[in-house]
Amino acid sequence: MKIIYLHQYFTTPQMSGGTRSYEIARRLVQAGHEVHMVTSWCKDDGRSSGWFTTEEAGIKVHWLPVPYSNHMSYGERIWAFGRFAFLSMRKAKELRGEVIFATSTPLTIAIPAVFSARKRKVPIVFEVRDLWPELPIAIGALRNFFTKWFAHRLEYWAYKNSEAVIALSPGMKEGVIRAGYPAERIAVIPNSSDNFEFSYSVQAEIQFRAERAWLQDRPLLVYCGTFGRINGVDYMVSLAKELQSINPEIRILLIGEGQEKLNIRQQATQTGVLDVNLFIEESLPKNQMPALLSAADMASSLFIDLPEMQSNSANKFFDALASGTPILLNYGGWQHELLQAKGCGLAMWRKPINKVAQEVAAKMTDSRWVVQAGKAARKLAEMEFDRDKLAIQFGAVIMASADRQGWRAEDIAPGQYNA
C-alpha cells in the first residue's frame, strides 16, 4: 500500500529531536508498504525554496525548505505552519497515495491532509501529539478571539474528516472525545521505547564521562530536550542551588536548544551554579542519546504545572525507560502515576524544591535504589512501550482505515496502562 505521511517536523537519528515518524515509517517500509514522507527542511542554510527528495531507510522523504526554530516568536512560527500547509498540499496530491496519515503538531497539517484526501478520495488517519488548541491557548500563544475560534474549528474539521485518530496518550484521547469524535475510532499509541538502540553500554558510559573533566565518576542527573517556556528548565537551576548545600558532588547536565536557553544560562550564572554543579551543552542528535543516558544516574522530564501538559507523551520519558535510567518528573498525569506505581523514578509533582533536592540527593547516592529503579524502568519499556510492538498496532490502524474500518481503532490500540 502507498502511504502519504505528512509530518512538518520529521527528523532522522542523525538530527536532534524525536524520531517517532522515522521509526514508524521505516517499519511500515519493512512490512512492505511504500511510504512517502512530506516534510520541511527547517535549517536556514541557504537551500533553494524548491522541493528536494532523499531516501531514509527506505522512506522516500520529500523536503520543502521552511526555516523554523524554537527561537522564533509565536507569530513567526504560525507563519511557518501556514506556509508549509499551503505548499505541501500540492505535493500530497501529486503523490497519489492510497491513505494519508497526518501528524500534528502543528494542527495546520490537517489542511493539506484533508484537501489532498478529498482530491484523491482516500481516507485520512490523523495523529494528535499534543492537546491542540488547548495547549497553545493555555500558554498564551493564541490570545485573541479569532485565533482561538479558528483553532477550535480547525481541530473539529480535522477530526470530522478523519477515518480514525491516533492519540499519543490516554489524556489526549479524552481530549479528542471532548471535541465530539467517537471513542471507538481513537487508538492510543504513545511515543515508544527503542529498547535495542538504548540498551545500557559500559563503554559508552566510560567514554562520555572521561570526556568531561567536571563529571568523572560523580552522580549525574540529565535533562535533554527543548528549552521552551512550557518546559520550565529553570527548575533545574533551582534544584542545583539546593543541591550545593546537600551534596555538591552531584552534577546536573542540561542539553538542548530553545527560546529560553539564554535565560537559563543567565539564571544559572546569577545563582552561582553554572559550571560548578550545573553544566549546559548543545543539543545532541538522537543517535548519540544512548551514550548520554548510559552515563546518567537519573534522567528528567520537565514541564510547567499546567493541566494541559499532563497528557504529554515526551520522547525523553520513553528513552529513559529504554536505557534503564530512573526518571525525575515534576508534573502530574499518567506518567506520574506510572512512575509511582512501577517504582522507576521520582514523581515530584508539586513538591517544594528543597524537598526534591533532598530526595534526589538521597536516591542518586543509593546505588541499590538506582539499580532497582533502573530495572523497573527497563521492564516497563519492554512490557508496555516497545517500539516494535506499538508499530504493529500503528500499521493495523492504518490498514483498517484504508479499508474504511476506522471503527476498529480503539480495539486495536486501547492504550490501557495499569498504574
pLDDT digits (tens, 9 = 90+) for 256-311: 999 999 999 999 999 999 999 999 999 999 999 999 999 999 999 999 999 989 99
CA distance 181 to 186: 8
Same domain? 215 vs 160: no
Residue 305, Cβ neighbours under 10 Å: how many?
Answer: 12
The CA distances from residue 379 to 201, 250, 320, 347, 376, in Å, are 17, 26, 12, 18, 5
Is the predicted pLDDT of residue 181 greater than 80, yes or no? yes
Same domain? 158 vs 266: no
Residue 153, Cβ neighbours under 10 Å: how many?
Answer: 11
The CA distances from residue 285 to 11, 71, 224, 225, 296, in Å, are 10, 18, 11, 11, 17
Q: How far is CA 270 from the centre of its chain?
A: 31
The CA distances from residue 333 to 146, 294, 348, in Å, are 30, 27, 12
Same domain? 225 vs 314: yes
Question: Omega into 105 within 30° of 0, i.e. cis?
Answer: yes
Tell me how many degrees the CA angle 20-318-180 measures, rounded to the nearest 5: 65
Q: Would residue 197 count as lying in a domain?
A: no
| pTM recorded for the entire structure | 0.94
Domain count, the chain: 2
Same domain? 398 vs 371: no
Which DSSP category does 283 fall into? Answer: -
Confidence (pLDDT) at 45: 67
Q: Would residue 417 count as lying in a domain?
A: no
Confidence (pLDDT) at 46: 66
Same domain? 100 vs 222: no
Q: Would residue 124 count as lying in a domain?
A: yes
Phi, psi (degrees; rounded to nearest 5) at 222: -120, 150
Mean pLDDT of 338-350: 97
Q: Would residue 368 count as lying in a domain?
A: yes
- The DSSP result for 297-360, as a single string, is SEEEE---S-GGGTT---HHHHHHHHHT--EEE-S-SHHHHHHHHHT-EEE-TT--HHHHHHHH
Over 335-348, what HEC string results? Answer: HHHHHHHHCCEEEC
Q: Would residue 304 count as lying in a domain?
A: yes
Same domain? 216 vs 335: yes
CATH number of the domain where residue 102 is located:
3.40.50.2000
The CA distances from residue 221 to 34, 206, 297, in Å, are 41, 16, 6
pLDDT digits (tens, 9 = 90+) for 47-96: 667 899 999 999 999 999 987 766 667 677 777 778 899 899 999 999 99
Same domain? 227 vs 168: no
Give the gyration radius of the chain's Cα atoms: 21
Same domain? 337 vs 390: no
Question: Omega into 133 within 30° of 0, i.e. cis?
Answer: yes
| Residue 129: strand, helix, or coil | coil
Q: Would residue 418 count as lying in a domain?
A: no
Q: Would residue 238 count as lying in a domain?
A: yes
The range of the structural domain enclosing residue 377 comes to 202-384
Average pLDDT of the chain to the nearest whole number: 93
Confidence (pLDDT) at 71: 63
Confidence (pLDDT) at 70: 65
Q: Which helix (H) or strand (E) holds 377?
A: helix 367-384
Q: Which residue has the cell 490498514?
A: 399
Q: Could you give the count of Cα atoms lying within 13 Å of 398 in the half-sphere of its Cβ?
A: 28
Same domain? 322 vs 180: no
Same domain? 344 vs 398: no
Same domain? 241 vs 324: yes
Q: Would residue 419 count as lying in a domain?
A: no
Beta-strand relationship, 59-65 and 52-56? antiparallel
List all residues 6 or more positions away from 161 whose beta carbon is below 8 Å from its beta carbon. Answer: 110, 113, 114, 117, 118, 124
Give the closest residue to 36 by CA, choosing from 83, 96, 81, 87: 96
Phi/psi class of residue 324: alpha, beta or left (left: φ > 0; alpha: ψ in -120 to 50)? left
What is the percent of the chain with per-residue pLDDT over 70, rounded to a whole number? 97
Same domain? 93 vs 210: no
Q: Would you say 327 and 306 are in contact if contact means Cβ atoms under 8 Å apart?
A: no
